Amino acid sequence: MKIEILGTRGHIEISAPGHELHSGVLVDNVLFDVGEREYLDRRPRAVFITHLHEDHAFFVNDEEMDTDIPMYGPERFGGVSAIRSTVEVDGMRITPVPTNHSQRVRSCGYLIEKDLGRVLYTGDLYSVQERYRDRLRDLDMVITEGSFIRRGGLVRRDPDTGRPHGHTGIPDLVEFFSPIAGKIVITHLGSWFFSDLQASVRRIEELGTTAEVIVAEDGMVLEVGLEA
Ligand SMILES: [Zn+2]
Ligand SMILES: [Zn+2]
């Protein structure tokens, strides 16, 4: 599988060269998240959206969305169909892995399998829903989010419902995925990242112990499964 990280900037005002575009990952001809309209110009065979926040689905607030490209997400919206089980596109098996993130919208990551390669793209989350965790093992690569460098990230509770929402920290994600993944790629970088780019990259990459941890840049290309 050829993996192209199209955009690495979180839902923030600030940006920097190499981190200007919002979420999007192209795996061969299938797109995961569409944080920028221009990603559709790549003419993917299908689009899988992790959740209906604007930095992952540019059209949720106001933009007209008419496309003949099939779109899937954790819940129905406009031309987006709700995904409940594995979908096959172009020899690729795509399985939703429900996550916890927002109290307003549903969210899921996607397990992407092709040939012998297994990749997980999580989108935003504070955790993977417990009963789906057994879908996650023997991963070649996890692409996950970097909103917060501090342990625990930022998870708030709604004062009325008591329900949590937010993002966990990069150290928690690295700890969770290290036993099951060879490589962890951090994207969706939060504002903390931009004060000193080189130092921030080092802080993230130093978290790697058994798994290699790297920081994505807009346009970065990675390969999985070729030399298996
Ligand atoms: Zn986001
Ligand atoms: Zn979000």
End-to-end CA distance of the chain: 11
The burial of 221, by beta-carbon neighbours within 10 Å (0-12 exposed, 13-18 middle, 19 or more buried), is given as: exposed
Q: Give the ligand whose atoms come closest to the C-alpha of residue 10.
A: 1
pLDDT tens, residue by residue, 84-143: 999 999 899 999 999 999 999 999 999 999 999 999 999 999 999 999 998 899 999 999
CA–centroid distance, residue 186 to ligand 1 (Å) = 13
Neighbouring C-beta atoms of residue 226, cutoff 10 Å = 10
CA–centroid distance, residue 202 to ligand 2 (Å) = 25
Q: How much is the CA Rg of the chain, to the nearest whole Å?
A: 16
How far apart, in whole angstroms, are the C-alpha atoms of residue 170 and residue 224? 22
Confidence of residue 227 (pLDDT cuts 50, 70, 90): low
CA–centroid distance, residue 78 to ligand 1 (Å) = 20
Confidence of residue 34 (pLDDT cuts 50, 70, 90): very high
pLDDT tens, residue by residue, 157-189: 999 989 999 999 999 999 999 999 999 999 999
Q: What are the structural domains of the chain?
A: 2-217 (3.60.15.10)
DSSP-assigned beta bridge partners for residue 89: 92
* Size (the chain), residues: 228
Task: Flag whether pLDDT at 18 surpasses 70.
Answer: yes
DSSP state of 176: H
Q: Looking at residue 63, what is its pLDDT?
A: 73
CA–centroid distance, residue 142 to ligand 2 (Å) = 18
Question: Mean pLDDT, to the nearest integer, of 19-28?
Answer: 98
Task: Flag whether pLDDT at 225 surpasses 90.
Answer: no
Task: Flag whether pLDDT at 228 surpasses 50.
Answer: no
CA–centroid distance, residue 45 to ligand 1 (Å) = 23
CA–centroid distance, residue 7 to ligand 1 (Å) = 11
Q: Which residues make up the environment of ion ligand 2, defined by Cβ < 5 Å?
A: 53, 124
CA–centroid distance, residue 12 to ligand 1 (Å) = 9
Average confidence score pLDDT of the chain? 95
CA–centroid distance, residue 5 to ligand 2 (Å) = 17
Q: Give the ligand whose atoms come closest to the C-alpha of residue 187.
A: 1
User: Considering the chain, what percentage of its residues have pLDDT values greater than 90?
Assistant: 90
CA–centroid distance, residue 117 to ligand 2 (Å) = 27
The mean-pLDDT minimum among 47-56, 60-69, 105-114, 144-153 falls in 60-69
CA–centroid distance, residue 6 to ligand 2 (Å) = 17
Q: Give the ligand whose atoms come closest to the C-alpha of residue 105.
A: 2
CA–centroid distance, residue 226 to ligand 1 (Å) = 30
CA–centroid distance, residue 19 to ligand 1 (Å) = 14
Long-range Cβ contacts of 80-89 (<8 Å, 24+ apart): 80/49, 80/52, 83/48, 83/108, 87/46, 87/48, 89/29, 89/30, 89/45, 89/46
Whole-model pTM: value is 0.96
Confidence of residue 212 (pLDDT cuts 50, 70, 90): very high
The burial of 18, by beta-carbon neighbours within 10 Å (0-12 exposed, 13-18 middle, 19 or more buried), is given as: middle
Looking at per-residue confidence, does 45 or 161 come out higher?
45
CA–centroid distance, residue 63 to ligand 1 (Å) = 18
